[in-house]
Amino acid sequence: MKKVNVILMVLVLVFALAACEGTDKPITVAMEATGEIPEKFEEQMTRFTEETGIEVKIQTYAGAENYEQALLGQIAGGTAPDVFILDGGHKIREYASEGALLALGDILEMDMGNFEQSLVEAFYYEDELYGVPKDYNTSVLFYHADLLDGDVPTTISEFETAAMNATSGTGDEKVYGFGIDPKINYYLPYIFTMGAEILGADGSVNEAEMQSQEHKNALQLLKDLFDGGYATSPFLSGAGWDGEIFGNKDVALLYGGSWITGVIGEGFNAGVAELPTEGNASSMLYVAGWVISSQSENPEDAARLIEFLSTDDELVQGNLDGLIGLPPTMSAMDALIEEKSDDPYLPVYREVVKDGFPFGSIDPEFVDTYNQALESMLYDGVSVDDTIAAMLAE
């Protein structure tokens, strides 16, 4: 009799425990977090727990490379975080194709139509959605109004003239008309707008377009500007990055990432504009998103976290706290523009994002090959035709 009781008690306990399991386990979020992000993110997670009662355990890594290496280790070892961040495009395809990500179509309860479509597209793989954009940054034309000889250019030919006219001085005093970090990261919009569709939406390289006259024209334009002494790069100027040459007023025009606005100081008569166009408008997008691991044991809770992070309030707060770049939803961007009504750059970004191409879509190997060839063209005097040949060589 006693024995039976004991067994029954044990069984009851076991069932009770099994029922409890899973409801109180915290979900883990992993991210690369530098600067003040860890602090601010913790505050954000506290808000989330208050609202939903779901506990969150935060994993932060000191740098981008370490973050990804740790992710690989965790996924391989079966201890992947429930939610983590991945760049849109190539990375998403890679992880999804290996089955490391959970398809989000069924589990998310929010309106994906509110997101900028150019951003969301980077998170599809084989027609399934695998990630939700967390923020974005884009590229724009920066200018110093007081260094320009006239209006801000809106077409490519105006742009070329403006660059040439704005160049003045020599030696230390020299001001270049145009500055750019000559990489596919920043020059691709020029190539697209001048009519060379060298890359497909999924990042595939179109060889015919690579060898087209339009592509050659685009490259020739850049080469002529550099060779003629009208343009410079951070490398040539000994600067650490392109923001530096703009901040030091070494250039009148600069095409770069939207984060450069950080160097526009007090008293600068500067601004941002859309890329001068010849055909279709274009810009570069840097978008990262939240994904759920396919190993996750709490996908529902994870989904709630992502939805929380995509609300207007959290997106706006995130931008103000420095947690994210630009908000990826249209409603949040509107809210942000209202909040920061004295910020003249936000409306430009809102325009430019619609025609953006996600940088993450490009194969990293192609990026390196293209950039190296581009650098050789500008610094080593390689001809445009030879450059294109080098870009296509694998």
Partner 1 sequence: MKKIWDYMNKFPYIVLLAPFLVLSMAFVFIPIINSFYISFFEFSFLNPSNRTFVMFDNFKNLFGDEVFITSLKNTALVVLVFVPAQLFLALLVAVLINAKIRAKGVFRVLVFLPYIVSPIAVGAIVTQLFKSDTPLVTFLTNFGFDNVTWNATSPYAFWLIVLLVIWTQIGFFMVIYNSALKEIPEDLYEAAKLDGASSLQEFRFITFPMLKHTRFLVMIMSMIVAFQLFELPYLISTIGGTSPGTPGNSTMTIVMYVYTNAFRYNNMGIAAASGVVLFALIFTLSYVQNKLQGKGD
Partner 2 sequence: MKIIKKILIYIVLIGLGLLAIAPFVWTLHTAFILEDLNINKGLLSPDKYGFANFVYIFTHSLVFRWTINSIVTTLIITVANLLFNSMAGYALARYEFRGKKIIFFYVLGTMMIPTQIIMIPIYLQISRFGMVDSYAGLIVPFLINPFGVFLMRQFYLGFTKEIEEAGKMDGLSNLGVFFQIALPLAKSAILTQAIFIFVWNWNSFTLPSIIVQSQEKFTLPLGIYQITNSQYIASVTKAMAATLITLLPTIVLYVVFQKYLVGSHVSSAVK
- Which residue, 172 or 380, is less far from partner 2 as judged by CB? 172
259 binds partner 1 (CB under 8 A): no
Whether the CB-CB separation of 221 and 180 falls below 8 Å is answered with no
From the list 332, 248, 294, 235, the residue with the least C-alpha distance to 98 is 294
243 binds partner 2 (CB under 8 A): yes
Q: Which does 364 bind (CB under 5 to 8 A by kind): partner 2, partner 1, none?
A: partner 1
295 binds partner 1 (CB under 8 A): no
CB count within 10 Å of CB 294 equals 17
- Which residue, 77 or 267, is less far from partner 2 as judged by CB? 77
20 binds partner 2 (CB under 8 A): no
- Which residue, 234 or 276, is less far from partner 2 as judged by CB? 234
CB count within 10 Å of CB 201 equals 14
Sequence-separated (6 or more) residues with CB below 8 Å from residue 213: none
**CA distance linking residue 218 with residue 84, whole number of Å:** 38
Stretch that binds partner 2, among 90-98, 145-153, 233-241, 266-274 (CB under 8 A): 233-241
Tally the C-alpha atoms within 13 A of residue 252's C-alpha that lie toward its C-beta.
Answer: 27
Contact set for partner 2, span 336-375 (CB under 8 A): none
Q: Where are the beta strands (DSSP E) in 99-207?
A: 124-125, 128-129, 132-144, 176-180
Residue type, 160: E
Task: For residue 84, give Cα distances in angstroms to 14, 217, 281, 290, 375.
Answer: 33, 41, 32, 6, 34
Among 31, 100, 264, 324, binds partner 1 (CB under 8 A): 100
Residues forming the site for partner 1 (CB under 8 A):
65, 68-69, 72-73, 75-76, 94-95, 98-100, 181, 183, 234-235, 238-241, 364-365, 367-368, 371-372, 375-376, 379-380
Residues forming the site for partner 2 (CB under 8 A):
30, 33-38, 58-63, 66, 69-70, 72-74, 76-77, 79, 137, 238, 240-241, 243-244, 247-248, 257, 259, 262-263, 322, 325
